[in-house]
Copies of this chain bind each other. A is one copy, B any other.
Amino acid sequence: MQQRWFLEVSFMGGAYHGWARQPNAPTVQQCLEEALALLLRQEVETLGAGRTDAGVHARSLWVHMDLPDLSMGPKDLVHKLNSILPQDIAVHRAKMVPQDWHARFSAVYRRYTYRMLARKDPFWQAMAWRVYPFPQIEPMEKAAQLLLQHRDFGSFCRSHHDAGTTLCEIREVAWEQKDHVLEFHIEADRFLRNMVRALVGTLVQIGQGKYPPEHLQQVLEAKDRRAAGPSAPAHGLCLEKVGYPEGWLD
């Protein structure tokens, strides 16, 4: 009898080609599955709430897996996994859950933060993009509001995508400046591949005065990746939270 588990995973992505396993590149999923195999002496397949691009970080990514009866409790599992996993990957929580909970399909929303630096900062360099010249916030704020009025984000999706549909519902966008670190928070039911980085790249062009805020409207309507700006670098992006139905993971 297998039991379903949810694991909360956190990682600095700089050394990895994203979450999802790949044949010839180190990924977070591979590290996690290897640690599980070592600890439990059996192969374990994990399924994450979503993919992340190479170099992107995650403060909280939920993963599910099916395990036989364990001889240890959740706290022990977390502690032992952490001692096997490298420094840049951690497991924060483990929880036995009903069999039909699904890390990806049960997720209600995802929240990302993209960080930009107004000056060089050794303490943030691995986590934030040093943008030069630094963009003005006001026009970016104005443009970002337009995102809430649209559903089709085809212009912010890699051309050869396999997403099926390019519809997303953006629930919230917010900007937060803490000294010389500017954060762009965005929450949606789903994101297309590369979408946040393409959005940020386009918003930064607006903040740098290359286009007015209304430009984003045309980009959105074009439904063509070429209408948008370049992708912002991966290392500024962090998956902050995956949301599940209320009460599930309290």
Contact = CB atoms under 8 A, between A and B. Distances in A.
Dominant SS at the A interface? loop
Interface string A92-122: 1000000000000000000000000001111
Given A88-B125, A125-B88, A120 B12 contact: no
A91 B59 CA distance: 29
Interface string A137-159: 00000000000000000000000
A122 B87 contact: yes
Interface residues of A, number: 18
A12 B123 contact: yes
A234 interface: no
A123 B128 CA distance: 12
A204 interface: no
Nearest to A81: B120
B121 A10 contact: yes
Interface of A: 10-12, 57, 59, 82, 87-90, 92, 119-123, 125, 127
